[in-house]
Amino acid sequence: MNEQDKTSMERKEEPRPAERTREEMEFVPDADIYETDKELVLVADMPGVDRQSVDVDLSAGVLTITGRARDRKLEDGYACTGREFRSGNFSRSFTLGEEIDSSAIEASMSRGVLRVRLPKAVPASRRIAVKEG
């Protein structure tokens, strides 16, 4: 086997990211994260998403936010002359550090803005007695 054949075989064996196939649009929500002395706060824009369509999940140190934006319904008697808003799914993941108290995370949703409060864990400190021997 010559060097060129070996190189092409190595390329075929490289892992490839999984491709998604969905009929709907998928959006990555814009997010800001700010820090106070007691917590981190994640603010994510998810226009068209209501509270019932949002899911906030923490698994293996990864916080994942998802939401579904539905098509807007037109009022009776109105015709649509132009449409820019599209339905679809919002999804984004964030890796959390160990300094977050995962048992105290809270989330709220208002007018298409998701706010996730990530309290900082109280550092465990204690005096350890030194024994003889």
pTM listed for this prediction: 0.69
For residue 25, being part of any structural domain is answered with yes
Residue-level pLDDT at 21: 59
Amino acid at 24: E
Residue with structure tokens 């054949």?
5
For the ranges 6-10, 34-38, 50-54, 94-98, the lowest mean pLDDT is seen at 6-10
For residue 55, being part of any structural domain is answered with yes
pLDDT tens-digit series, residues 97-126: 888 999 999 999 999 999 999 999 987 777
Q: How far apart are CA 62 and CA 59, in angstroms?
A: 5
Query: How does strand 113-119 pair with strand 49-59?
Result: unpaired
For residue 4, being part of any structural domain is answered with no
pLDDT at 76 over 80: no
Q: How many domains does the chain have?
A: 1
| pLDDT band at residue 28 under the 50/70/90 scheme | very high
pLDDT tens-digit series, residues 42-59: 999 999 899 999 999 999
Residue with structure tokens 């108290």?
101
For residue 56, being part of any structural domain is answered with yes
The range of the structural domain enclosing residue 67 comes to: 21-71+86-119
For residue 11, being part of any structural domain is answered with no
For residue 97, being part of any structural domain is answered with yes
Domain CATH for 25:
2.60.40.790
For residue 79, being part of any structural domain is answered with no
pLDDT at 5 over 80: no
Residue-level pLDDT at 7: 37
For residue 9, being part of any structural domain is answered with no
